[in-house]
């Protein structure tokens, strides 16, 4: 499947060239300096640039708890608005956001399970490397995709890779748009359940 092949490609991709890194670093410095000045536009840009990545990280840290992950993302950005200062570059900025996120998740978990707070911290330290989080989430998604039927897999691929809409998929499958739509929602629910189960099973 192209989906799986692209996974292999994305993992083996070479790191970005130096000029791209420099550009990212400059952008990160600009955004952090803007937020430090109280610039709302810079803050909005910072949010749009990092919220998805931070959410995925939070999702892994919270073992698939979407609500906790969402709260964490929100807290991190509010703290960033209040406290973010100058950064050296992109990696520095991401590490700062991830560190604050980790602290927020820990606080939430501590609130939820006061008795097992120490245990929770130990687990977090083992599983909270920002760069490892994406890999963990990707593995969970791959496992969930692998269990889909060939036809369900195709529907996901058409929608997310080929950009087909429900009507176009219906035409390919020789069925109605409504049928595709409800099937698509069922597949999404299944994937979602499996990803969350996979992440929570790491507890």
Residues forming contacts to another protein in the complex (CB under 8 A) are 3, 6-7, 9-10, 35-40, 43-44, 47-48, 51-52, 55-56, 59, 64, 66, 69-70, 73-74, 77-78, 80-82, 134-135, 137-138, 141, 156, 160-161, 188, 191-192, 195-196
Cβ closer to another protein: 89 or 184?
Answer: 184
Nearest distance, CB of residue 141 and another protein, angstroms = 6
Cβ closer to another protein: 36 or 124?
Answer: 36
The secondary structure of residue 115, as a DSSP letter, is G
DSSP 26-48: HHHHHHHHHHHHT-HHHHHHHHH
Cβ closer to another protein: 168 or 190?
Answer: 190
| Residue 173 burial (C-beta neighbours within 10 Å; 0-12, 13-18, 19+) | middle
Nearest distance, CB of residue 84 and another protein, angstroms = 10
Nearest distance, CB of residue 174 and another protein, angstroms = 25
- Nearest in space to 50 (alpha carbons), one of 87, 8, 5, 19: 87
CA dihedral over 15, 21, 27, 33, signed as positive or negative: positive
């Amino acid at each position: 499947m192209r989906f799986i092949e692209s996974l292999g490609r994305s993992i083996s991709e070479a790191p970005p060239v130096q000029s791209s890194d420099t550009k990212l670093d400059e952008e990160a410095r600009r955004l952090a300096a803007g937020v430090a000045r109280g610039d709302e536009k810079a803050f909005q840009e910072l949010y749009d640039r990092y919220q998805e990545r931070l959410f995925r990280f939070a999702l892994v840290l919270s073992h698939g708890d979407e609500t906790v992950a969402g709260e964490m993302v929100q807290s991190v950005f509010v703290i960033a608005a209040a406290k973010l200062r100058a950064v050296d570059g992109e990696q520095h900025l991401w590490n700062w956001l991830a560190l604050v996120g980790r602290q927020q998740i820990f606080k939430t978990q501590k609130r939820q399970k006061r008795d097992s707070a120490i245990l929770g911290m130990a687990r977090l330290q083992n599983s909270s490397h920002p760069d490892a989080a994406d890999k963990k989430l990707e593995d969970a998604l791959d496992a969930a995709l692998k269990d889909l039927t060939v036809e369900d897999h195709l529907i996901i691929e058409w929608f997310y890779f080929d950009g087909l809409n429900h009507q176009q998929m219906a035409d390919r499958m020789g069925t109605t748009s409504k049928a595709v739509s409800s099937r698509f929602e069922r597949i999404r629910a299944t994937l979602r359940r499996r990803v969350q189960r996979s992440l929570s099973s790491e507890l």
